[in-house]
Chains A and B, each alone.
Chain A
Amino acid sequence: DQQVKQNSPSLSVQEGRISILNCDYTNSMFDYFLWYKKYPAEGPTFLISISSIKDKNEDGRFTVFLNKSAKHLSLHIVPSQPGDSAVYFCAATTGNQFYFGTGTSLTVIP
């Protein structure tokens, strides 16, 4: 039973444009959400997070939006750069229960 879903397995974006990665979840008990970035042959690395009491968190080029009523979160990358090309996993947690999505592979085209 997949509690966190990333329905787009891949996304291609031109350099300089906005990348929007989406994530849906089913469990209303999740209280913290994270995005991880993964390069080939490396483990996932933490990118940005948001608490369920917020609807937006920004860190440089990366912004995460949370819509609790829709059980949806998104990651915006502006402007996109070729070095952003990687697999992005969203994750949701409550206590020590931690669930990942299946990942979206982002390609930023120079």
Chain B
Amino acid sequence: DAMVIQNPRYQVTQFGKPVTLSCSQTLNHNVMYWYQQKSSQAPKLLFHYYDKDFNNEADTPDNFQSRRPNTSFCFLDIRSPGLGDAAMYLCATSRGAASTDTQYFGPGTRLTVL
């Protein structure tokens, strides 16, 4: 089945220790997104790639970076995680970036920062 895969499902890191979260897709979609969702809050878009074109949301902290080496993979790098970065990180894909292009989500990676 075509799908969006996130690894690992649970990640524990230490305060200040860099961490990378991974997302892959078999849908061959052009757009990939990273969202951060904290407890009882709405998922918040961090950035997205349209092909290799990177788009950063204005209020995404510099601590968060992303890489998309090819169509299938996208990585979220947190350079120096703080306690406030503990959250669920959701990856999504869509065929295009129009309003009508449905986003398909992975199961998420829950990040704990000790």
Which residues of A come within 8 Å of B, CB atoms?
A: 2, 4, 9, 31-32, 34, 36, 41-46, 49, 51, 89, 93-103
Min CB distance, A39 to chain B, in Å?
10
6 contacts between A and B (CB under 8 A): A43-B90, A45-B104, A97-B45, A99-B45, A100-B43, A102-B41
Residues on B with C-beta less than 8 A from A41 are 9, 107
Q: A32–B50 Cα gap in the complex (Å)?
A: 19
Whether A43 lies near B42 (C-beta < 8 A) is no
Q: A41–B90 Cα gap in the complex (Å)?
A: 11
Which residues of B come within 8 Å of A, CB atoms?
A: 4, 6, 9, 31, 33, 35, 40-45, 48, 50, 55, 90, 92, 97-100, 102-108
A contact patch SS: strand
Whether A103 lies near B103 (C-beta < 8 A) is no
Residues on A with C-beta less than 8 A from B105 are 36, 43-45
Residues on A with C-beta less than 8 A from B4 are 43
Residue in contact with B106 in the complex, picked from A2, A32, A43, A100, CB distance below 8 Å: A43
